[in-house]
Amino acid sequence: MNKTAILFFSQTSAKEAVTKNLYGRERSAKLADVLISRTKEHIERSNLPVFHFHEGNQRGCTFGARLSHAFQSLFNLGFQSIIAVGNDCPELENISWEKVLIHLHQGQAVLGQSLRGGAYLIGLNRAQFNFEDFSSLPWQKNDLFKSLCIAIAEKSDRGIHFLQVFRDVNSSSDLTKVLRTTNLSKCFKRLVIDIIGIIGINSAENFRFPAFFLRETKSLRAPPVAD
């Protein structure tokens, strides 16, 4: 049995379209479907067991409780370390699962910080997890990452390994900035651009954004982290 499992903590695309209705219900659902499918494809390349926790099988009344129950359920299955990710960080494709596993197996926790103070990846060993402490963290707040580091440091003799800081997509502005990065595939960029209706594309790296796309929208947050 593998010692490590991946916890994919994500709403279904239909629910995401309601929570993050950035471009109208239909286009938002298609965008969510792409982000979810893309994340699944990447995490499945890890060759680790993947467990998807969504609104249909989560337990708990708060975000922290639902995520904590998901972690606890996998530890109860016998896994010694859990890697939690969500669907809203396209740059997750740049993560090396092999390196994450090395640090976890050395006894370190592994954290990936998002730009607004959340976390796009949380890798914990069994000894670093406490249900009550974990569920009471300030989830979906901008000080989550700082609080998470403090809580884990108290339980981790080997410390924490920090991954590169990435951007979560919680607004149209976030998506604009992510699409302008150079570390995402052209195929993904073109697919997203086609869904949200941007015109005048010459290449994935050279396209213009119409005014409606550049307009800042209210930041929305969804599993698994705050951003």
Q: pLDDT truncated to tens, each residue of the chain (227 aa)?
A: 579 999 999 988 888 778 777 777 788 888 888 899 989 999 999 999 999 999 889 999 999 999 999 999 999 999 999 999 999 899 998 999 999 999 999 999 999 999 888 999 999 999 999 999 999 999 988 899 999 999 999 898 889 999 999 988 888 888 888 888 777 888 888 888 888 775 433 333 444 443 433 343 333 343 454 43
Q: Could you tell me the CATH number of the domain that includes residue 36?
A: 3.90.550.10
Q: Is residue 226 part of a domain?
A: no
Co-location of 187 and 106 in the same domain = no
Residue 158 is encoded by which pair of tokens? 């080997």
- CA angle, residues 66, 56, 89, in degrees to nearest 5: 65
Amino acid at 71: F
Q: Is residue 223 part of a domain?
A: no
Co-location of 102 and 181 in the same domain = no
pTM: 0.83
DSSP string, 165-202: -B----SHHHHHHHHT-SSS-HHHHHHHHHHHT---EE
Co-location of 69 and 8 in the same domain = yes
Domain that holds residue 197: 172-214
The residues, ordered by sequence, that sit 6+ positions from 225 with a Cβ below 8 Å of its Cβ are 86, 114, 118, 119, 120, 122, 139, 140, 144, 168
Q: Which residues make beta-bridge pairs with 207?
A: 201
